[in-house]
Amino acid sequence: MASIGFFGRLGNLWKGFLSLWISEEERKHPEIAYENAINSMVEKYSSLKQATAALIRRREELDGRFAAQTRELTQVSADLDTAVATNQDDLALVLIKKKQALEGEVVSLRRELEEAAKEAEAAKQSLLQVQEEIRRLREEKDRMIARLRSAEARLRIQEQLEGLSVEADVRALETVREHIKNRVAEANLSKELEQTSLDGRLAALRSQTGDVSARAELERLKAARAAQAAPKKTL
């Protein structure tokens, strides 16, 4: 008994794991969940259809028996009238008993037939409901799967748009800007170093020397002009 309980629990555990795995797969692939639900409904529809057919067959059998017993009751009633009319009392007594039995059977059959008709009609309505549910599930599956595919497509487009961010391009441009600034700074540094170098100082000195010579020449020319303009002294 203990081993049976252990294996039973083990079976239940396996069923639990299997159910979780199926649920996860259905979540990833919802069309599988819809197909499982539809297939389950189709199986129920098939079983209910067989049960409904059996109820309809029973109703038809009861209806046939009721019709036959009703006809026989009608015939026995007519025979009884004839027996009474012809003073055949012994035969009339037999027919009376038969009529009473038939009347009881007809009443019973009528009751059974009414119940069978109600059961068959209820089964037919249930069958139609299951059929409608299957149709609704199929339409819902197509509609919901279409919505899912549309949502997934929108998500892919959004991911693509997010992947087209300009941040990478801006960073690349910023690198170029920094490179340009560095090159300009290097050029300015070279110019400053050139101005502080010996050759630069010598070139600057020569430029100053030319200025000094020009100013000296200017002073000489001014002095000569002044001497010419001054009055000469008489002896």
Q: Write down the pTM of the prediction.
A: 0.51
Q: Where do we find the tokens 């015939």?
A: 75
Enumerate the domain spans of the chain.
10-164, 169-228
95: which 2 tokens? 């027919």
- Give the pLDDT confidence of 148-200 residue by residue, as tens digits: 888 888 888 888 877 665 565 666 677 777 878 888 877 777 666 665 665 66
For residue 18, pLDDT over 50 is answered with no
10-164 classified as CATH 1.10.3470: no
50: which 2 tokens? 């067989």
Mean pLDDT of the region 87-110: 94
Contact present, 33 and 23 (Cβ < 8 Å): no
For residue 27, pLDDT over 70 is answered with no
H-type alpha helices, the chain: 2-28, 30-85, 89-163, 167-196, 198-229
- The more confidently predicted of residues 176 and 95 is 95
